[in-house]
């Protein structure tokens, strides 16, 4: 895509609205920006354009949110995930570069719907998971985050399974995103996936992202624990269904 392509009226109208809504969700739950934004932005741009530019926006948002909530971060779980996430990201960048990612979107959508339903039903407690589950979950989360820009549901599944509270999960997810987005930006750049249009799109979306995070944070302060839990699960179900519909279309 060229910079001029970004100036089409429907893109100027819809893209900021999508980014704003995605970061309202992020401000409320600590994750979900890519779940909301990537499937919708992919209707406006090619997926190989969306993922690299949106990861820059996500990096800025995650760094700010993670710093604000750092006291509740689940540090032991992050240390466990890091080496496996890196492995998954390396694999995912190769897949994004060489394989049509639409082939895998349907399966990801099914997983997201399944997790969202379990989160609503079990009120955010998740399925108990052993420590060793961090290895496959880290690899899968790293790979899907590189291919689709979507790794949040997988990491939330792990953190909830490790008995993390909604407050801990909300704090830990931005910390995970900070690490993974920096790694992905470097690897995407080395893989030649950044164009001038992608950088312009990222820069234009950052002010909208900041407004969305601010709005979401204010909404989070006024919502009850059960409302936040059910909102997170419902958001996952809707996003997963969106991915499934897109894979079938």
For residue 14, the model assigns a pLDDT of 94
Domain interval for residue 65: 3-248
Say how many domains are in the chain: 1
For residue 127, the model assigns a pLDDT of 65
For residue 13, the model assigns a pLDDT of 92
Q: Which of 96, 140, 111 is nearest to 35 (CA)?
A: 111
For residue 170, the model assigns a pLDDT of 75
**pLDDT < 50 stretches in the chain:** 124
In angstroms, the CA 137 to CA 6 distance is 36
pLDDT in tens, 3-20: 888 889 999 999 999 999
The rounded Cα 63 to chain-centroid distance in angstroms is 14
For residue 40, the model assigns a pLDDT of 82
In angstroms, the CA 127 to CA 157 distance is 8
For residue 181, the model assigns a pLDDT of 85
In angstroms, the Cα distances linking 5 to 9, 45, 199, 201 are 10, 10, 13, 11
């Amino acid at each position: 895509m060229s910079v001029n392509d970004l100036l089409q009226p429907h893109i100027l109208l819809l893209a900021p609205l999508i980014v704003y809504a995605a970061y309202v969700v992020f401000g409320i739950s600590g994750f979900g920006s890519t779940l909301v934004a990537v499937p919708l932005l992919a209707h406006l741009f090619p997926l190989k354009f969306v993922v690299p530019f949106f990861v820059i926006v996500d990096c800025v948002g995650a760094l700010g949110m993670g710093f604000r909530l750092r006291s509740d971060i689940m540090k032991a779980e992050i240390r466990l995930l890091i080496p496996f996430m890196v492995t998954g990201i390396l694999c995912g960048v190769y897949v994004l570069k060489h394989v049509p990612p639409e082939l895998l979107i349907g399966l990801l959508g099914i997983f997201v719907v399944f997790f969202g339903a379990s989160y609503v039903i079990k009120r955010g407690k998740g399925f108990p998971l052993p420590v060793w589950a961090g290895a496959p979950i880290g690899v899968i989360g790293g790979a899907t985050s590189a291919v689709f820009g979507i790794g949040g549901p997988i990491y939330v599944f792990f953190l909830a399974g490790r008995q993390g509270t909604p407050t801990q999960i909300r704090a830990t997810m931005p910390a995970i995103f900070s690490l993974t987005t920096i790694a992905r930006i470097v690897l995407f750049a080395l893989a030649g996936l950044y164009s001038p249009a992608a950088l312009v799109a990222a820069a234009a979306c950052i002010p909208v992202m900041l407004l969305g995070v601010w709005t979401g944070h204010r909404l989070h302060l006024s919502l009850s624990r059960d409302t936040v839990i059910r909102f997170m699960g419902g958001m996952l179900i809707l996003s997963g269904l969106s991915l499934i519909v897109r894979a079938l279309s």
